[in-house]
Amino acid sequence: MPASTRSATARRGPTSTGTGTLPEPPELDLARIVEALDRHGVEYLIVGGHAARAYGARFLTRDSDCLVKMERENLSRLAAALRELHARLRISGLSDEESAALPVQIDAILDQQTDFSNWRTDAGDLDVMKAMPGPDGAPRHYEDLAGDARVLDYAGVRIRVASLNAIVASKEFANRPKDRDALPELHLLQERMRGARHDRPNAAPPAAPPTGPHRCEPHRRGPTTGR
């Protein structure tokens, strides 16, 4: 396996291979993913499309982006959660079956990852990120964003998400077509949140998310909205 997971993994979507096309991922079960991460005490934030949907955005997204604390003990806990979810790398040029058959050591992949690693699990696709870009493109790590994180109800579970401002900043910098499509709605959500704070100037700020390994207690699971 190459040292850099950037060269070893496919970034998004189905990949053509010599033996066919990477099949569609399992239906995303975000509650199951979050439950596994929380049970193993992983320090993480949900970012990207599902974090935006937790704030009220309506655009669809297929996989889940997870920003993790890049500390060895935390990566070991993450590896245990990924093994529980039967994670295998999404690798360009290999079918899902071929990728699952590789003797991949998840701990080693996480230790070596540069920017991100892409995983297919029995609960859907999960992208593990080392950092996400800020307004100026500089990388922002878990420690930079954890203080402004929120705990929100979404897809039948309570999830810990990066701030809406951090999500918007990353999409503005990425500036892909799908980011440009999503930004008008995200900017509107920002305005609504600012207006709500203005209407309640003396309201107490939202409670800070818990610190330490355990994040959120999942509550009754309902239908997921990952697709």
pLDDT digits (tens, 9 = 90+) for 43-59: 999 999 999 999 999 98
Poorest-confidence range of 97-106, 123-132, 154-163, 170-179? 97-106
- Whether the full predicted model's pTM is greater than 0.85, yes or no, is no
What domains does the chain contain, in order, with CATH numbers?
Answer: 5-199 (3.30.460.40)
Please choose, from the candidates 41, 42, 62, the residue with its C-alpha nearest in 3D space to the C-alpha of residue 50. Answer: 62
Predicted confidence (pLDDT) per residue in 113-149, tens digit? 778 899 999 999 999 999 999 999 999 999 999 999 9
pLDDT at position 115, please?
A: 87
Residue-level pLDDT at 101: 83
Nearest of 187, 189, 145 to residue 166 by alpha carbon: 145
d(CA 21, CA 80): 29
CA atoms within 13 A on the CB side of 179: 11
